[in-house]
Structure 1
Amino acid sequence: MHLSALLDGVARSSGPEEAVIYRGQRWNYREFADAARRAATALSEAGLRPGDRLAVMTYNTPAFLFAAFGAWYVGATLVPVNHKLQTPEVAYQLRHCGARLAVVDAEIGDRATAADADVRWLVSHPDTAPDALPADSFEALVAGARPWAGEPGPDGDIAQILYTSGTSGRPKGCVHTHRTIALTAAYTAATVPLRRDERFLICMPVWHASPLNNWALGTLLLGATVVLQREYEPRVMLETIQRERVTAMFGAPIALIAPLQTVPDFADFDLSSVRAWIYGAGPLDADTARRLMKAYGSENFHQVYGMSEMGPVGASLSPAEQVEKAGAIGRGGMPGVDLRVVRPDGVDAEAGQTGEIWLRSDTRMVGYLGDDAATAEVFAGDWYRTGDLGRIDEDGFVTVVDRMKDVIITGGENVASQEVEGALRGHPDILDVAVIGRPHEQWGETVVAVVVPREGTRLDLDGVREWLGTRIARYKFPRELVLRDELPRTASGKITKHVLRAELA
């Protein structure tokens, strides 16, 4: 199940079929595999060795996929990096994973290359950069390289490190093997299911676990077609679906809601080719589900639930269940996944009861990079403890009712509350702060900062957001600022965030 060997197999069986489409450019499977092998040689000549970590920080471009498979041919590990991160955040991940080589999109190269890390940079599409960057062109190196001739390694080799927000505020690196990723792609393909004639639109960031492992790889390893949209934009999404006759897409709920609000001529687009509208990172309520079905002229909406630690795989809600069981994540696990809801006493919950959602699958990560203690906290035998609290209804459907982990999910992005709090505590006019998520119809949750200002100072949201500046990525910025004289605390001094959530709901 080595990913490079799987690509070779698909290239042999589906050679002339379209593999990747990007802005009018097209690669069939023979061409795609050839480009990936050339990328492997280019990366190797740039210093990448088996076992090394290759960081890739780009938009949804072919360069990301060529670099990923190139790293896998070499026997190296792919480390996708969020292109929205600011320089200190990039530096942390590069140092933490030990990357020595990185590919970055020219448009964001200044943020990345400013990171104080011992990394050699290769720049994708340097012709688009506002200023020349001191790095070699990735595309030029690939074009001049010969195809890689090496053989793939065992499927137990480390293939990927996915960084995910954690309760500590520092992202944790989820370590995955070729086998766990290949099974993630296979189980996902069986869930919808995906077909050999699929034309799947990747418009959410491909460095995210789900767009990459579930949908891009799930599509490619099936021999179907991936359509890349450089970055999500509602009108471009509709134009791409219509032009390329896209058959399936994935996004956070806001990706489906936004076009209705921002594209005045939405009804003029022909979206009839889409047979599967897939969403995740948050549920839809019944009214919103009905509204989307009417607007998109389809009842074929699928919800998926999972997390990076599991591939991601977990549970799914079928089209027939979208309205009747709105808000639920599904009944049991998706193909290849076992799901339990476990009470605090360790006994499985029954109908009407609440407990922690546990998942078991061959897709589970090896562990958190360099953090055995954190790994031990979330592993229970061969089960993964999600930290999500779920309630079972009389039909066996599970609904997430709260999170034990202090993480906010907004627009499909995970935001660690403690990371935002840590940044805000550096503000000279802030005495105390708690960051929570408030439910939001479109974004799932929105980031709210509850702040105790220092005496004699004045704070406003715009000023706080401006001060955060380049300290953290913009999607982590608070969208609301609530001023308080003090924060609620337990007798031991711990902030009681559940009290704040209830007060601000």
Structure 2
Amino acid sequence: MWTLDDVLRSAARKFAGREALVGGGRRLSFADLDAAADDAAARLQAAGVTRGDAVAIHGRNTVEWVTAFFGAVRAGAVTVPVNHKLAAPETAYILEHSGATLWLVDRDLAGDGSAAGTARMLMLDDGDGGLFAGPAPAAPPVPVALDAGEPVEILYTSGTTGRPKGCLHSHANVLLAGTGSSLVYGLGPSDRVLLAMPVWHSFPLNNMLINAVYVGAAVVLLPEYHPLHFVQTMQDERCTLFFGAPIAFLMPPRLLPHFDSFDLSHVRAWIYGGGPIDAVTARMLAERYRSDRFYQVFGMTETGPTGTALYPEEQVAKAGSIGRYAVAGADLKVMRDEVTEAGPGETGEIWMRCQSMMLGYHDDPEATAAAFHDGWYRSGDLARIDADGYLFIVDRLKDMIVTGGENVYSKEVEDVLAAHPAVAEAAVIGTPHEEWGETVTAFIVPKADAALDEAAITAHCTAALARYKIPRIIRLVDSLPRTPTGKLQKFLLREGV
């Protein structure tokens, strides 16, 4: 089985002069990208990185991010992509938990550097203190004999306790995730992929970027998503595939009066994930984008992400479904309990097994053991099966909120709220939002005689949470609904919204 480094080296031989990467005014061929990975690997080794070290890469979608990633792989490191939207305490936790020895960070995200902890900090640029500062190393990187089964990524996803968990993936996991994805919508050397969703997410990283290099497709980078930049770049760069959350597709037609003037006829696959769309929206998107080539993908960081797909011909007829079957290389079942499978009309938890399954949660054997049953990963997602076998997500055992394609766990937000000196109790839920899917909603019981308002709560959360995790709806209440035994009844909060 190949490693990620094998993938890049092979692409550089087969597609040497073809365009591989576009971003920030730069255009790199596959040969250029391979040389840039060599340069980055040599610089990382000069900075003290050795095989097995964790290297955190913290930034937006840039050529520097991509070359640092492939350079770290070539140096034998375990990459730790970091969400660039996190607050400093959240970043510090990931750096500490992953055991990162080096923190590569966009200059404007570094803050005062205190989040680094024991990790050395280098900027993800060629300025003072940057990884790419100074002349290229005189010697090539020291070769590292990699194995496909060894770890190459720690991808962090929120845990049920409110602390992020690090999903440990091998080279083989990553490549098999991309292969299964490619068989859904196809991906080949003639494709041009626009990467506007954050590259630190598992799908853009593993199923888009790495998979594109694997097959010889070009990748066009946008540092961050913006409705106008998105459609303008899709048109100007003649991109053929795009992946994003539903909101990424909904915003351009709503916000751009001249949206219909863009030529997007060359796009052959519009791929969305992070939430379903209804039949009315599916028809609207098909009409406004003048395309019947929409795909929905469903998966989790733990699985690679590998999961299910809803194909173009199913978008309206089975709107809201995540699909009927697991993609190639994966299997799933819906379980009413640990021994009984659900049938049509019934609801149960989605269990999955796949070739791209994580090795486990980094430094958390208890959570790893709890996540699996006889080799099946217990997703925590509850799904209803319709008469035709299609799955519809109805709830989450893990109490996760999905807002604009980003995952937020209520416990994490609740812990931050509870730390406010004027808060007695707090409960957080997701409430429906027509654009973002869900919005973070907090119910707060103030302490007796405490002065508390929404502005103070928002300011408190801003210091500790990523922006998308901050409650947008805040309700001050006298009490929270509980059972006689004291268990919080969140369903009553949802019913009351």
TM-score, normalization: structure 2?
A: 0.97
Relative distance call for 1:180 and 1:114 in structure 2 (3 A) is: same
- The letter for the 2-side match of 1:263 is L
Post-superposition offset of 1:503? 2.3
Matches within 5 A, 1:119-134: 119-125=119-125
2:253 corresponds to: 260
1:481 corresponds to: 474
1:319-349 deviation line (CA, Å, top 9, x unaligned): 1000110000001101111011111252111
Post-superposition offset of 1:313? 0.7
1:346 corresponds to: 339
Name the SS for the 1:350 alignment partner: coil
Post-superposition offset of 1:470? 1.7
Post-superposition offset of 1:292? 1.1
- The letter for the 2-side match of 1:293 is A
1:107 corresponds to: 108
1:435 corresponds to: 428
Name the SS for the 1:328 alignment partner: coil
Matches within 5 A, 1:421-432: 421-432=414-425
What is the root-mean-square deviation of aligned Cα atoms in Å?
A: 1.5
CA contact (8 A) 2:75 2:142 kept: no
1:131 corresponds to: none
2:284 corresponds to: 291
1:157 corresponds to: 150
- The letter for the 2-side match of 1:42 is R
Post-superposition offset of 1:126? 6.0
1:233-261 deviation line (CA, Å, top 9, x unaligned): 11111111111011010000011111122
- Across the two proteins, how many residue pairs are aligned to each other? 496
Greater Cα shift, 346-355 or 137-146: 137-146
- C-alpha distance in 2, partners of 1:75/1:256? 38
Residue of structure 1 aligned with 2:372, choices 374, 379, 383: 379
- The letter for the 2-side match of 1:121 is M
Greater Cα shift, 245-254 or 265-274: 265-274
2:32 matched to 1:31? yes
- C-alpha distance in 2, partners of 1:141/1:447? 45
1:199-223 deviation line (CA, Å, top 9, x unaligned): 0000001011111011111111111
2:76 matched to 1:75? yes
1:467-488 deviation line (CA, Å, top 9, x unaligned): 2232111110001012221101
2:241 matched to 1:248? yes
CA contact (8 A) 1:450 1:484 kept: yes
Name the SS for the 2:485 alignment partner: coil
- The letter for the 1-side match of 2:316 is V
- Segments of 5+ residues of structure 2 without an aligned counterpart are none
1:93 corresponds to: 94
- Percent identity, aligned pairs only, is 46
Name the SS for the 1:100 alignment partner: strand
Post-superposition offset of 1:450? 0.8
2:461 corresponds to: 468
| Regions of 4+ moved over 4 Å | none
Relative distance call for 1:178 and 1:431 in structure 2 (3 A) is: same
Post-superposition offset of 1:306? 0.3
Relative distance call for 1:305 and 1:153 in structure 2 (3 A) is: same
TM-score, normalization: structure 1?
A: 0.95
Matches within 5 A, 1:404-423: 404-423=397-416
- C-alpha distance in 2, partners of 1:206/1:95? 21
- C-alpha distance in 2, partners of 1:385/1:466? 36
Name the SS for the 1:221 alignment partner: helix
Post-superposition offset of 1:141? 5.2
- Segments of 5+ residues of structure 1 without an aligned counterpart are 128-134
2:178 matched to 1:185? yes
CA contact (8 A) 1:38 1:142 kept: no
Post-superposition offset of 1:497? 1.3
Residue of structure 2 aligned with 1:315, choices 305, 308, 311: 308
